[in-house]
Amino acid sequence: MNKKIFGLGKKLIKHELISGSIYIFAGSLISNILAFLFNLFLARNLSAVDYGTYASLISVIILVGIPAQSVITVIVRFATNYLSSGQTDKAVKLYKATFGFTLVIAVLLIFIFTVLSLPIKNFLHIDSVLLVISSGVIVAVSYLGIANTAFLQSLFKFTFISITLVIGGVVKLSVGVLLIILGFKVFGGLFAVFAMYLISLLLGFIPLKSVFTKTKENVSISIREVITYALPTGITIFALTSLTSIDIILVKHFFSSSSAGLYAGVSLIGKAIFYFTGPITMVMFPLLVKRHTKGENFNNLFYLTIVLVSISSIAITVLYFIFPRFIISLFLGGREYLNASSYLGLFGIFITLFSILNVFVNFFLSLKKTFISLFVVSGALLQIFLILFIHDNFFQVIGISIFVCSLILIILLYIFLKDYGNFGKLRNKI
């Protein structure tokens, strides 16, 4: 019996989803620990008002950076397809086209943030337009890293990605702590994020150089096919990410600065669930594309992802309900943040549902089922609409997010069962 259990465990560890997830998880875990230490340092060394400002700007950065994630998803989909089928020349052309495109976008983003800096400053009740412009520069650098990030995933360079995550985390923590100590406050925190993106961008060129050295130039790729997939995918990813970002922005607008800071702190801890499970979904996506491209069975890969994400998310949420004050004290140093301890478990439910929803969305997108954008976008708009009119307290805001995620998840589950049969008879078809 022990040998069978050991053999099963050994087999599971060698599974490409789990082995890849272990590398990404290890890097993400260390990176997230460093990120938590950084946020812990910020929470303890900035006032609640300054931390609320920092959190709201980070949410803006995340929202504006959502298209970058969608582009990554698109590039991974096509690059994995090309590389898995031996079409390296097409992959190289796609890389060059992507990098050129993101360079133009980066310049435009800095210009747009500069022009809109005053309206954004007033909407978020921020003291300086320079903080807004700095956020634009951060987004621009993150866009420049799209091509590298996507191709590293398509090449299954999970070990290198893990190392890059750790190095980026170390840079952010060390630079941020130094600048905060020197008195740069919110700007110090933002510059630390900029430094992290910059070092990750530069490191990403290292493994790609040897892969794309000898290739032909006289090849073409179907731009129409890429755009047809990219548009609904981009909209879907934007709407999906909005579900965990727009609430912070709206809370910053409707609530006092101190209350918004408390919500941002609870949100930070709650999102640890997604940071913990996200690497599993990230590894699943290119593996699903590769298996589908080669005509291999991908059923168990999807099921395993759902199981791993669900169990991990639920376990962390249970801890949030049982030890909310301890966890808040551990990560945020207690203080006024303890006043928001009653919201932590509820926020855990929200992020658990979101994490599972993320798996379903990535599953459908990996198979080019882009029609799901209709449901994800409708849910994101519904969340905004409800919070705009119902925001008397944090329970209402979080409750709305839980309701919307549940609704979208139920719809996608229904489509999944309808199109592919029951969980025991999933058929590989597009």
301: CB partners within 8 A, 6+ apart: 17, 284, 287, 288, 291
Question: What pLDDT was estimated at residue 421?
Answer: 54
Question: What pLDDT was estimated at residue 330?
Answer: 79
| Identity of the amino acid at 58 | I
What tokens were used for 232?
Answer: 């609904």
Domain ranges of the chain: 15-420
CA distance 365 to 210: 30
155-194: buried (b, 16+ CB within 10 Å) or exposed (e) per residue? Answer: bbbbbbbbbbbbbbbebbbebbbebbeeeebbbbbbbbbb
CB atoms inside a 10 Å sphere around CB 342: 13
User: Which DSSP string do the residues of 86-104 spell out, in sequence order?
Assistant: T-HHHHHHHHHHHHHHHHH
pLDDT tens by residue, 198-255: 999 899 888 887 666 655 556 666 677 777 887 888 888 889 988 988 888 888 888 8
What tokens were used for 426?
Answer: 């999933």
Q: For residue 171, what are the CA distances in angstroms to 31, 96, 177, 178, 362?
A: 10, 28, 10, 11, 30
CA distance 251 to 246: 8
| Identity of the amino acid at 340 | A
Q: Are 80 and 298 in contact (CB under 8 A)?
A: no
Question: What pLDDT was estimated at residue 423?
Answer: 46
Is 115 exposed, middle or buried, given 0-12, 13-18 or 19+ CB atoms closer than 10 A?
exposed
Question: What pLDDT was estimated at residue 9?
Answer: 47
User: Which DSSP string do the residues of 307-371 spell out, in sequence order?
Assistant: HHHHHHHHHHHHHHHHSHHHHHHHHH-SGGGGGGGGGHHHHHHHHHHHHHHHHHHHHHHHTT-GG
Q: For residue 116, what are the CA distances in angstroms to 110, 113, 119, 333, 408?
A: 10, 5, 6, 35, 33
Q: Tell me which residue of 136, 166, 346 sits closest to 247, measured CA to CA.
A: 346
3-state helix, strand, coil in the chain (%, to 5): 85, 0, 15
What tokens were used for 88?
Answer: 């390296």
pLDDT tens by residue, 100-140: 888 999 999 999 989 888 888 888 778 888 888 888 899 99
270 CB-side CA count, 13 A = 29
pLDDT tens by residue, 246-267: 888 888 888 887 888 888 888 8
Question: What pLDDT was estimated at residue 220?
Answer: 65
Q: Are 380 and 246 in contact (CB under 8 A)?
A: yes
CA distance 221 to 181: 51
Question: What pLDDT was estimated at residue 8?
Answer: 47
Per-residue pLDDT tens, the chain, 430 aa: give them.
555 544 544 555 555 666 656 677 677 778 877 887 887 788 778 777 788 788 888 878 877 877 777 788 788 888 888 877 777 788 888 888 888 888 999 999 999 989 888 888 888 778 888 888 888 899 999 899 888 888 888 887 878 888 898 999 899 999 988 988 888 888 888 999 999 999 998 998 888 876 666 555 566 666 777 778 878 888 888 899 889 888 888 888 888 878 888 888 888 888 888 877 887 887 787 777 777 677 666 667 788 888 889 998 999 999 999 988 888 887 777 677 787 788 888 999 999 999 999 999 988 988 888 899 999 999 999 999 999 998 888 889 999 999 999 999 999 999 888 876 554 444 443 3
Q: Tell me which residue of 244, 215, 225 sits closest to 69, measured CA to CA.
A: 244
Q: Are 42 and 180 in contact (CB under 8 A)?
A: yes
